[in-house]
Chain A
Amino acid sequence: DAGVTQSPTHLIKTRGQQVTLRCSPISGHKSVSWYQQVLGQGPQFIFQYYEKEERGRGNFPDRFSARQFPNYSSELNVNALLLGDSALYLCASSWRLAGGKNTGELFFGEGSRLTVL
């Protein structure tokens, strides 16, 4: 089975531009989370979506937005890019057991590396 896939893998933008990153979860997974990983640091939580609804948001400005589609794929959008937005953006998917029990494991893609010049 295919793992979490993300596109594009690398991209370069200039300050003020907008970027859209895409993520396809593992088949059967209904939840997608987005993380930002700045070089040399651990990933930071941005968003979590489940069944097309936003279920959690980290401490990121409104320039960051996301959505989940009926097929459970997801897009992360970042507007008005700043130099500090340069990072590896990771998407993770997970599944929910009956009754909403949180198993906790997230399955990550290889990320989209964004460079803002």
Chain B
Amino acid sequence: AQKVTQAQTEISVVEKEDVTLDCVYETRDTTYYLFWYKQPPSGELVFLIRRNSFDEQNEISGRYSWNFQKSTSSFNFTITASQVVDSAVYFCALSELAPDSWGKLQFGAGTQVVVTP
């Protein structure tokens, strides 16, 4: 069975500080996708990043970066130089690659990020 754990329930930072969100996952599959989604107060889940299980290269996209460690089943996400608009709930999610799993994401419980001016 799949499981995604986000141990941090809430993180509060002052604008321009960096924020790192932790995510630990469990899966029996050898190939899978990992995602980060952002949910602002409007409710819509906004796709941020995706990582394939067979590619552990860590990347930076603008102010976002991620650290994927398959050996420890962790997929951490960092927002650099946070802004007030980054305030939202952030979800880590896992998806298998098998065709019958397509469209199914296993989400963590989410981490509320509060950025104050």
Given contacts A41-B109, A42-B108, A42-B109, contact A106 B44 (CB under 8 A): no
Query: What chain A residues lie within 8 Å of B106 (beta carbons)?
Result: 45
Contact across chains for B50 and A55 when beta carbons are under 8 A apart: no
Given contacts A43-B107, A104-B35, A104-B50, contact A48 B102 (CB under 8 A): yes
Query: What chain A residues lie within 8 Å of B110 (beta carbons)?
Result: 41-42
Question: For the complex, is A58 an interface residue (Cβ under 8 Å from B)?
Answer: yes
CA distance A81 to B35 in the complex (A): 32
Query: What chain A residues lie within 8 Å of B75 (beta carbons)?
Result: none
Query: What chain A residues lie within 8 Å of B102 (beta carbons)?
Result: 31, 48, 50, 55-56, 94, 96, 102
Contact across chains for A108 and B108 when beta carbons are under 8 A apart: no
CA distance A103 to B4 in the complex (A): 20
Q: Which 4 A-B pairs have the closest CB atoms?
A: A42-B107, A48-B103, A108-B45, A104-B33
- A90 smallest CB distance to B (angstroms): 7
Query: What chain B residues lie within 8 Å of A35 (beta carbons)?
Result: 105
Contact across chains for A56 and B103 when beta carbons are under 8 A apart: yes
Name the interface residues of A60-101: CB closer than 8 Å to any CB of B: 88, 90, 92, 94, 96, 100
Contact across chains for A33 and B107 when beta carbons are under 8 A apart: no
User: Could you jot down 6 A-B contacts, CB within 8 Å?
Assistant: A32-B103, A42-B110, A55-B102, A94-B102, A102-B98, A103-B50
Query: What chain A residues lie within 8 Å of B100 (beta carbons)?
Result: 55-56
Query: What chain B residues lie within 8 Å of A88 (beta carbons)?
Result: 43
- Cβ 8 A contact of B103, one of A3, A55, A100, A113: A55
Name the interface residues of B80-117: CB closer than 8 Å to any CB of A: 91, 93, 95, 97-110
CA distance A108 to B42 in the complex (A): 12
Query: What chain B residues lie within 8 Å of A43 (beta carbons)?
Result: 45, 91, 105, 107
- Chain A 38-50: CB-based contact to B (< 8 A → 1; otherwise 0): 0011111100101
